[in-house]
Amino acid sequence: MALLRIQSDWYIYFWLLYCKIYSAIIWLFGNHCRGTDKARAVITSGIGGQSLGSLHRVRTRRKKTQQYHRTKHVVALARRPSYKRIVMAPGASTAHAMMEDKEKLLAPATIRSRRISQFAPLLIALVGLPARGKSQLAHRLARHLNWNGESTKVFDCSEYRRRHMALYGSHDIFRADNQQGSAIRRQSAHEAVQDAVIWLKDGNSVAIFDGTNITREQRRELSDYCLSDMGFRILFIECVCEDQELLERNIIEILHYSADYKDMSEEEAVDDLRKKLEHYMRQYEPIDAGLESIGFVRVENMGETVTAHKVAGQKESGILGYLSGMRGLPQTIYFTRHGESEYNVLGRIGGDAALSARGQLYARALADYFNAMATIDPVSVWTSELRRTKQTAADIHAVKRPVRALNELDAGICEGLTYEEMQERFPQEFAWRDQDKLRYRYPWGESYIDIMTRLRPVLSALEDEHNVVVVGHQAVLRCMLGYFLDAKLDELPYMNVPLHTIVKLTSYGYKYKVEMIKLPVECVDTYRQQPKVRAEQNCSINRSTAEALTTVPSHYDTLPSNLWQSPTEAQL
């Protein structure tokens, strides 16, 4: 027993000795780390003054004074002034300070951009030589953004330059050594940017600066002004064109439609534009990601290749997606309503009615028109899923594609009613519709805004198609034509798209030429004028039935009684 007791005492003795040695080692190691931190703090405080690093070290020393060397952990301030607390092991403060100093060096390039909200206005600045498709891209992008609810406007630097010149003289104004010309161009660019800033300050979402911005200095100054001074987001879009066929087409459009060359002969205009391009090419500095810290998108050959660098933000990402699917090819698009339907004759809205006798005649005339073109320039046909559009396009010799998004506006509880019945059953709804037809939504139905939303993918696809015939409905075609013609939203519900008429759109640059082709088949007129246009019209919910029906078009009861007969019966 005595032997066992002596053996246990030795175990206790060695355990106490081990703890003493371990404590001494920990104490020596802690003193060494504190000495290193102290020397580093003295050096840093002598260089940086009251930097974030020095604040960190002062606070660390204060904690050590209060808790002495027995403290197992040191609580320090985080590197950013949010006073977020972090727990660090002894000796880790040195590594933390080194990481802090490294991030302070990177801060000037990153923190400034982080402070700008995702909801801040966006300035888009175009970059590139003339005839590279910048204006076409700018206006197509503005049309797309406006349609998606982002109020957007293009500020063309060339228009501001023309305000300072009564008449365009020659290419000399674009020479680098022409001081007067350079001053005019700088002033024009400044005015365009200032108007873009005013536009954004007024609460709008996007401004597009359509200029060349060919030097790195110009881009740096514009970027600093937007980010530092105005607090706006900025995205550069560089347009590059190496496709000779596309470049020649762009040059031809400039010669035909630019205001600079309207008073020149063709030979003079070609020579002047060639020398103008030479002046710009001598000064052009393409965007280089290694030399410029800006976010940009490079678009080659009008969407053939799209490259993005430092693109961040919801708006910018949406723009990048749009540019990725864009093609700058000339196009012709045909729009037509279905032939006259039975509901058109009766004055009823919506439904899935079949064609009337005259509607069937129009379907044959429409097929004859496009079948005659098929040998020269074949077409494809898009219809809705409703029966009257399919019947209208049935005899056209082309590939037909029913698209659900092209269906007519859903009138909800008013589907299949005449305007007279709607006024009788739902006078309040009828009045509200007249007050704001664009935003009015039928109970259990749709509004024009809803149609615009479901048409977005169709319009994006149609922008890059050629020789497409869209056989649709009145409300849907109003929205589609309004998009391509860049009409004001409040005008959409009252655009006149008559029956038995082909609307032909032909692109030139970023605009479209409209041609109305009326086929010789009679039909009813379903167009209802805007009630508010008439001074005596009352759109309140307390108006009388006569006031409510003032602009309603005539229908069945004012038409000949033999309308429903087939063409053969009518001849008999």
pLDDT tens profile 360-374: 999 999 999 999 987
What is the β-pairing status of strands 468-472 and 122-127? unpaired
**Which residue among 157, 226, 239, 241 is the active-site one?**
241
**Which residue among 279, 338, 500, 555 is the active-site one?**
338
Yes or no: say if 74 and 64 are a contact pair by the CB < 8 Å rule.
yes
Sheet order of strands, 305-309 included: 152-156, 206-210, 122-127, 233-240, 296-300, 305-309
Is the whole-model pTM more than 0.85? no
> How many helices, marked H, and strands, marked E, lie in the chain?
20, 14
Q: Give the 3-state DSSP-derived string for 243-260, with helices as H, strands as E and coil as C.
A: CHHHHHHHHHHHHHHCHH
d(CA 73, CA 92): 10
pLDDT of residue 554: 80
pLDDT band with cut points at 50, 70 and 90 for residue 90: very low
Yes or no: say if 73 and 90 are a contact pair by the CB < 8 Å rule.
yes
pLDDT of residue 297: 95
Q: Is 408 a catalytic residue?
A: yes
DSSP bridge pairs for 511: 508
Q: Is 338 a catalytic residue?
A: yes
**Which residue among 100, 238, 408, 547 is the active-site one?**
408
> Does the pLDDT at position 241 exceed 60?
yes
Question: What domains are defined for the chain?
Answer: 122-325 (3.40.50.300), 332-550 (3.40.50.1240)
Q: Which of 504, 465, 189 is nearest to 335 (CA)?
A: 504
> Does the pLDDT at position 100 exceed 90?
no
Kindly report, residue by residue over 466-514, the tens digit of the pLDDT. 999 999 999 999 999 999 999 999 999 999 999 999 999 999 878 899 9
Q: Is 210 a catalytic residue?
A: yes
pLDDT of residue 534: 53
Share of the chain above pLDDT 70, in %: 78
pLDDT of residue 182: 87
What is the β-pairing status of strands 85-88 and 74-77? antiparallel
The beta strands (E) that lie in 17-116 are given as 74-77, 85-88
Q: Give the 3-state DSSP-derived string for 12-27, with helices as H, strands as E and coil as C.
A: HHHHHHHHHHHHHHHH
pLDDT band with cut points at 50, 70 and 90 for residue 9: low
Share of the chain above pLDDT 90, in %: 51
**Which residue among 37, 100, 156, 210 is the active-site one?**
210
Q: Is 229 a catalytic residue?
A: no
